[in-house]
Each structure stands twice: as structure tokens, then as C-alpha cells.
């Protein structure tokens, strides 16, 4: 078992998804149980399904100085970075610590592959068309490279691409680097945007629902794909700090199957116990869990059983995929932000989309929105390849 | 200034065109043996049926990783692992983009789940029954240095032996023209936070700026080093093959190098 970790301050955080741009849009949608899914109108031959699409990306190219990086994924990242004063907070961290002491650690599953797909649809004599002759876009590192360049940061710069756990795991990368003194602050988070690879890919695996997704519903029939970007700045807390805290994280592997979770949720359970151990917590200490809850048959079955057998009824739990869709590599940071809002606002998001609870679910499930004092929250993120992550957050002063 | 990270090398693996394993590479570099004919990577760790149908990236990464773990004498099941790659499986990405441009509804579900950047980490953990943390990272052109920094950080922070594998395959199609990767290469190290059972110490310190490391002056090595971002590990692997204490710089990000002191015992 790992040792407890020194908590880290979350100096700034933000998210943009189908619920809107920035924290207020997310808090408001959650408070009113207003989801953001809409019929799929993405791509040249839209599949009959629902998506969590961010409005307006097509009309907002990157500033001229960053034009080489322009693509849907980096545009969404840029839009998100402009919300809630986040870009200013990054610049302040750079000013305070120096460009080489601030890391950029970002998760994504497909980065700007949408631009590569676009190039293949418009090949010029078998080659990438001239306007997409930009090698920085055609690589998984496009997002992290873009953010580091946009803020002129020269610390460690890492892309984590472990499918749907990507932007949860970056919190762990940051904690290790800060604890060992390699850096003083980290910009963590991630971005994934709608693209044909994931829409047709999940469709080929028969995991996409033709309706808005229904996490933990007995009749659920698959996921709804969404897009999102979110970011946070992590640094050491100062005396009297009132920032929310990262208090733990866990990472583990299923060692079972590339696209199906372990039937008993072994990796998920190991990630959870790892996170609780680093946070120095018992299950009864946890007030809220933002579940991975994709509305796929297997994920929800395994996760419902894990929560039901581990936590008391006083721990509240819900999936917010019914609000945003499954934002894949961005799900970790988006749901971390939603967990931080639950702590800030005292709101337990309702498990939007489910009408008939799966009987595997325990009394922990918050089927509708609730008000509660949330001092400690967990966020689960599980990915293809059996890659599991769990994050633990606390309100300032909630843990000794 | 003391090193930021100190780790010991407990196991080494490598696959390069003409050097199908670490021992062959050492014979070429240290003893002047001639490189062989390029073949298919042998990934003994994978079950036979997986080996037949595994994508090239998975075979390559698992071949190098398997050698390093075997040399370490440790159980792969207990090792957290970091798989680094600039571009992942470009052959699959090329297939996906071609299919999506012409007949998207015909996309292969297997190709799709093999297209994730963590496919080698997934297949590796399944084959070795490893429930420890596994990661798949990229740093673009700096993927090897970024992966080395992450793996060494994990070893020291969690006081655990860690497997690092860095691999890239040749690009193909319109994508290949963008990534400019011309050949396959993979390396792997088992890094330990303690000296026990290891003969080589790495002291790793991040330093500002990117220095041009220049060519090694060996045509075969220089051609491999230029073939893909993971092959930027070649100067480090050459130093390990020569079992000679030395220092070198590895680029880990834009504007960030790792200064690596390599100390060989006795």
C-alpha cells in the first residue's frame, strides 16, 4: 500500500463541455438537472445517436500567432483556457516560478486526429493537403505541445493517452513531480473533441446508444459520446490556504481485456483502495463519488457492484455522463471539475438519464440532485486496456 | 548540484533493425559484430495467438520490455509500467483515417480498440497479469526523454521498480509523410530506486535548454537514431552497451533537457 501523500492546492480550475463554457455554466446546469446532449449532427455522415457537442467551435479559430496549431481539439482547449481567469492563473504561475518550473501534463485519447481525418478526406495527389501540412497536429502530443507553446512554458511536458483515464492520471504525474521537487506547479487536464474515429469506432464495437445515454438504468443500451476540455493548476498549499485540495489518487490495471472491464472490477477496486490509502481515508469518510458510469452494460454493472459493496449509504454517488456524454480522454478532468463544484456548492449532481435503477445499484446512488455538505469527493475514470484511475479531493480544512 | 533523480538499471531490452535483442546490439556496439538482417520482433511474453495477430507497435514494445524484465529477474506482474511513444501505431492510424474517408461504417472494431495509444500497455498487463499502474505517454519528438523522466520519477516517488518501454514504428501513407518516422525501434529499461542487483546508476537532472547532441559518427547507429523519436535513446543505449561511465543529455521537452550521468560500478 502506498504512503499517505501531502495534499496539493488546486489553485485554479475550469471546464468547457456541452453544458457550456466555464464553471458557472456547469454549476447552473447541474443545479437544474439540465443536460447537454443533442441529436448527432457531427461529420459528413452522422450516425443516428446523441452527442455532447460544444457550440461555436467552428467559428472560433485560434489567434493568428497560434495558427499553426489550429484544429478543433486545440480550439476547444483554447476556449476552455479563456474561462474563469484560468489563462491569467497560468501566466501568474509562470511569473512566480519561472517557465522551466511549471509542467504541462495533459490527457487526451485522440488529440487532434480529427485534423488528420480531415486531411485524408481531402488528399492532394495522395498527400496531406497543403493547409494541413502541419506535423505538430498529426501526433498524440498535439494538445500538450500547443498548451506549452501558447504559454511559453519550458518545464516537463507530457501527454498521457490511456484512453478514458488519461486526464485523471495527469494529477498523479503532477503530484510525483511536485513532491520530488522537479517542478513547483503543473497545468493538468485534457481535451478530446468529437471526431469520426471515436464515433465510428465505438459504433463498430456496438457500444453507442441510439438514444441519450442512461447510466445505471436497468435498460441502458450504450454510451453517448461528448467533447470537453478542462484544466487545473496544482501547486503546494500555503499557510491558511483556502483552495480545494488533491488529497489522493490511485492507478491500477485490470489485466483482463482490451475493451471490456474485469468482471469483478479488480482494477477499479485496486485504484480505489490506492487512492484511499494515499488520502489516508476510509470509505465512510467519502461524501460524494463521481462515477465513471458510461451507460455501457459492463462498466456500470461492475462499478455499481463496487460502490454497493464498499461504501455506506451516506456516501452519495452519481454519473454525470447523462449531462455531458462520455468525453473520453477529457472525462477525468471534466468530472474532477464537477467533483470540485460539488464540494464548492454543496450539490450532489443527479444521475441524469436513468429512470429504472439497475438492481445492482446500492442506496448510495443519487438518482436526483441533492444538497449535502460535501467535504471529500472521489472521481472514477476507467479506460480501454483495463486502465483505471481514481482521484480524491477535499475542501480546505476537511482533512487533518 | 545533486541529481534530481537517482535510479539504477536492473534490466535492459532493445529491438532495432539488425539487432533483434539487447545482446545483439551490445555485440555490434561493443565488439564490432555486423548488424543482422531486419526481422520481425519476437515478443515471447505474449501468448502465441496474440503474437500472431498483435499490431506491430505491440510486438515491438513487448519484445523490448520482455527482455528488460527477464534480465531484471523481477516479476512483470509486480512492475508499474510506462510505455512511451511519439506516434503510437501509425499503421493503424493510417488505416483508420483511410477507412473513415472512404467507408466509415466498415471500420474494424478490433483495429479501433488497437488504435488506442495504450494498446501495448494493455496487452502487456494482460499477458503478464500485471495489476500495477500502467501508463501510455507521448512527448512528440521528445517522447523518449519525457518517458524516461516519467518512469524515473515514478520509481523514486513510489519507491518501486518501474518498467519503461519506448517504441515507435515506421510511418506509412500521408500520415507517415507528416511524422517523418522511417523505421521501427524500441528500448526498455527496468529502473530501480535502490542499488540492489544493479550495476549501472543513472543520475538524472532536468536542465533548461535543448542542446544539439550531434551524430555519434557511426553510420548504423546514426541512421537508427534518426529514424524515429524513440530512437533518440540510441546514445544512452550505446553508453550502456559500452559499460563506460559517461554523461549525456536527453531532450525531454521543448526547452528542457535531462542531464544524465551514467555510473558503471567497478
Query: Which residues of chain B lie closer than 8 angstroms to A168, CB-CB?
Result: none
Q: 451507460: which residue's cell?
A: A295
A261 CB near a chain B CB, below 8 Å?
no
Tell me, what's the pLDDT at B199? Answer: 84
Q: Is the ipTM of this complex over 0.90?
A: yes
Contacts of B96 (CB under 8 A, 6+ apart): A113, A117, A197, A201, B107, B111, B112, B115
Query: Which residues of chain B lie closer than 8 angstroms to A180, CB-CB?
Result: 4-5, 153, 156-157
Q: Which residue of A has its CA nearest to B5?
A: A180
Tell me, what's the pLDDT at B2? Answer: 65
Tell me, what's the pLDDT at A44? Answer: 77
Tally of CA atoms within 13 A in the half-sphere of A35 that contains its CB: 25
CATH number of the structural domain spanning residue B179: 3.40.47.10
pLDDT tens, B47-71? Answer: 998 898 899 999 999 999 999 999 9
Nearest 5°: the CA angle B221, B222, B225 is: 85
Measure the CA–CA gap between A185 and A156, rounded to whole angstroms.
11
From chain B residues 179-198, the ones with a CB under 8 A of any chain A CB are 179-180
pLDDT tens, A107-161? Answer: 999 999 999 999 999 999 999 999 999 999 999 999 999 999 999 999 999 999 9
**Closest listed residue to residue A172, CA positions, set A156, A188, A155:** A188
Q: pTM of whole model > 0.95? A: yes
Query: Which residues of chain B lie closer than 8 angstroms to A384, CB-CB?
Result: 113, 116, 118, 122
How far does the CA of residue A383 sit from the closest CA of chain B (Å)? 9
Measure the CA–CA gap between B12 and B241, rounded to whole angstroms.
10
**Closest listed residue to residue B64, CA positions, set B27, B21, B8, B102:** B21
Q: What is the dihedral of CA A342, A345, A346, A350, to 10 degrees?
A: -50
**Closest listed residue to residue B137, CA positions, set B94, B83, B217:** B83
Q: Identify the three-state secondary structure at position A383.
A: strand
Among B137, B254, B255, the strongest candidate for a mutation testing the A interface, having the largest count of A CBs within 10 A, is B137
Tell me, what's the pLDDT at A39? Answer: 98
- The total of other beta-carbon atoms located within 10 Å of residue B34's CB is 8
Provide the residue range defining the domain that includes B34: 11-196
Tell me, what's the pLDDT at B54? Answer: 92
Q: Which uninterrupted H or E stretch holds A191?
A: strand A185-192
Q: What are phi and psi of B222, to 5 degrees?
A: -65, -35
DSSP letter (8 states) at residue A65: G
Could you report the average pLDDT of every consecutive run of 10 residues in chain A (400 residues)?
93 98 98 98 90 97 98 98 98 98 98 98 97 98 98 98 98 98 98 97 96 98 98 97 97 94 95 98 98 97 98 98 98 98 98 97 98 98 95 91
Show the cell assigned to B208: 533548461
Measure the CA–CA gap between A155 and A176, rounded to whole angstroms.
14
Give a yes or no: residue B180 inside a domain.
yes
Measure CB to CB from residue B254 to each of A148, A253, A258 and give the nearest one.
A148
What one-character-per-residue DSSP string does B129-141 give?
Answer: T--S-EEEEE-GG
Give a yes or no: residue B217 inside a domain.
no
Partner-chain contact A157 B146, CB within 8 Å: yes
Q: Are A209 and A49 in contact (CB under 8 A)?
A: yes
Give a yes or no: residue B211 inside a domain.
no
Give a yes or no: residue B229 inside a domain.
no
β-partners of residue B262 are B202, B246
Q: Are A381 and A335 in contact (CB under 8 A)?
A: yes
Give a yes or no: residue B67 inside a domain.
yes
Give a yes or no: residue B266 inside a domain.
no
* Number of domains making up chain B: 1
Give a yes or no: residue B123 inside a domain.
yes
Give a yes or no: residue B189 inside a domain.
yes
Amino acid at each position: 500500500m502506498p504512503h499517505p501523500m501531502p495534499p496539493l492546492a488546486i489553485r485554479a480550475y475550469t471546464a468547457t463541455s456541452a453544458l457550456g463554457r466555464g464553471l458557472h455554466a456547469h454549476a447552473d446546469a447541474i443545479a437544474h438537472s439540465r443536460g447537454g446532449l443533442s441529436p448527432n449532427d457531427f461529420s459528413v455522415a452522422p450516425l443516428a445517436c446523441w452527442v455532447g457537442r460544444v457550440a461555436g467551435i467552428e467559428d472560433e479559430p485560434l489567434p493568428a500567432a497560434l495558427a499553426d496549431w489550429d484544429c478543433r481539439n486545440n480550439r476547444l482547449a483554447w476556449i476552455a483556457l479563456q474561462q474563469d481567469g484560468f489563462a491569467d492563473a497560468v501566466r501568474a504561475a509562470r511569473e512566480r516560478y519561472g517557465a522551466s518550473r511549471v509542467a504541462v501534463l495533459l490527457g487526451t485519447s485522440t488529440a487532434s486526429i480529427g485534423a488528420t481525418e480531415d486531411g485524408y478526406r481531402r488528399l492532394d495527389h495522395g498527400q496531406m493537403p497543403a493547409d494541413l501540412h502541419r506535423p505538430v497536429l498529426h501526433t498524440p502530443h498535439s494538445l500538450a505541445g500547443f498548451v506549452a507553446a501558447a504559454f511559453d512554458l519550458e518545464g516537463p511536458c507530457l501527454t498521457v493517452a490511456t484512453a478514458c483515464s488519461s486526464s485523471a492520471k495527469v494529477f498523479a504525474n503532477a503530484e510525483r513531480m511536485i513532491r520530488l521537487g522537479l517542478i513547483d506547479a503543473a497545468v493538468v487536464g485534457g481535451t478530446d473533441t468529437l471526431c469520426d474515429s471515436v464515433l465510428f469506432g465505438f459504433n463498430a464495437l456496438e457500444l453507442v446508444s441510439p438514444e441519450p445515454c442512461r447510466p445505471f438504468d436497468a435498460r441502458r443500451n450504450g454510451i453517448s459520446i461528448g467533447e470537453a476540455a478542462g484544466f487545473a493548476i496544482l501547486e503546494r498549499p500555503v499557510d491558511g490556504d483556502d483552495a480545494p485540495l488533491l488529497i489522493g489518487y490511485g492507478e491500477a490495471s485490470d489485466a483482463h481485456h482490451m475493451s471490456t472491464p474485469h468482471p469483478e472490477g479488480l482494477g477499479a477496486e485496486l485504484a480505489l483502495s490506492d487512492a484511499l490509502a494515499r488520502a489516508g481515508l476510509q470509505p465512510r469518510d467519502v461524501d460524494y463519488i463521481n462515477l465513471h458510469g458510461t451507460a455501457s452494460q459492463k462498466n456500470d454493472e461492475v462499478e455499481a457492484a463496487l460502490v454497493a459493496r464498499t461504501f455506506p449509504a451516506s456516501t452519495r454517488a452519481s454519473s454525470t455522463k447523462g449531462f455531458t456524454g462520455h468525453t473520453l480522454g477529457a472525462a477525468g478532468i471534466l468530472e474532477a471539475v464537477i467533483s470540485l463544484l460539488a464540494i464548492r456548492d454543496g450539490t450532489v449532481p443527479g444521475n441524469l438519464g436513468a429512470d429504472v435503477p439497475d438492481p445492482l445499484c446500492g442506496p448510495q446512488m443519487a438518482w436526483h440532485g441533492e444538497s449535502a455538505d460535501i467535504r471529500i469527493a472521489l472521481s472514477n475514470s476507467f479506460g480501454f486496456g483495463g486502465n483505471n484511475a481514481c482521484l480524491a479531493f477535499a475542501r480546505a480544512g476537511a482533512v487533518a | 548540484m545533486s541529481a534530481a533523480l537517482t535510479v539504477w538499471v536492473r534490466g535492459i531490452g532493445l529491438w532495432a533493425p539488425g539487432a533483434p535483442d539487447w545482446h545483439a546490439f551490445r555485440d555490434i556496439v561493443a565488439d564490432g559484430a555486423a548488424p543482422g538482417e531486419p526481422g520481425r520482433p519476437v515478443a515471447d511474453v505474449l501468448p502465441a495467438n496474440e503474437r500472431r495477430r498483435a499490431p506491430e507497435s505491440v510486438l515491438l514494445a513487448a519484445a523490448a520490455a520482455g527482455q528488460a524484465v527477464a534480465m531484471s529477474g523481477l516479476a512483470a506482474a509486480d512492475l508499474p509500467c510506462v510505455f512511451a511513444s511519439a506516434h503510437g501505431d501509425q499503421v493503424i492510424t493510417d488505416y483508420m483515417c483511410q477507412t473513415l474517408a472512404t467507408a466509415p461504417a466498415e471500420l474494424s472494431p478490433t483495429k479501433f480498440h488497437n488504435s488506442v495509444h495504450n494498446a501495448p500497455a494493455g496487452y502487456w498487463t494482460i499477458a503478464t497479469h500485471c495489476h500495477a499502474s500502467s501508463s501510455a505517454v507521448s512527448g512528440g519528438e521528445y517522447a523518449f526523454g519525457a518517458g524516461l523522466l516519467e518512469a524515473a520519477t515514478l520509481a523514486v516517488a513510489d519507491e518501486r521498480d518501474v518498467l519503461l518501454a519506448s517504441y515507435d514504428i515506421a510511418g506509412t501513407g500521408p500520415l507517415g509523410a507528416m511524422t517523418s518516422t522511417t523505421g521501427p525501434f524500441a528500448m526498455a529499461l527496468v529502473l530501480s530506486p535502490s542499488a540492489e542487483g544493479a550495476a549501472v546508476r543513472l543520475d538524472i537532472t532536468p536542465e533548461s535548454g535543448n542542446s544539439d547532441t550531434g551524430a555519434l559518427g557511426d553510420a548504423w547507429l546514426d541512421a537508427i537514431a534518426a529514424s524515429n523519436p524513440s530512437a533518440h535513446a540510441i546514445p544512452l543505449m550505446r553508453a550502456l552497451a559500452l559499460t563506460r561511465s559517461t554523461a549525456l543529455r536527453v531532450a525531454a521537452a521543448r526547452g528542457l533537457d535531462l542531464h544524465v550521468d551514467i555510473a558503471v560500478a567497478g
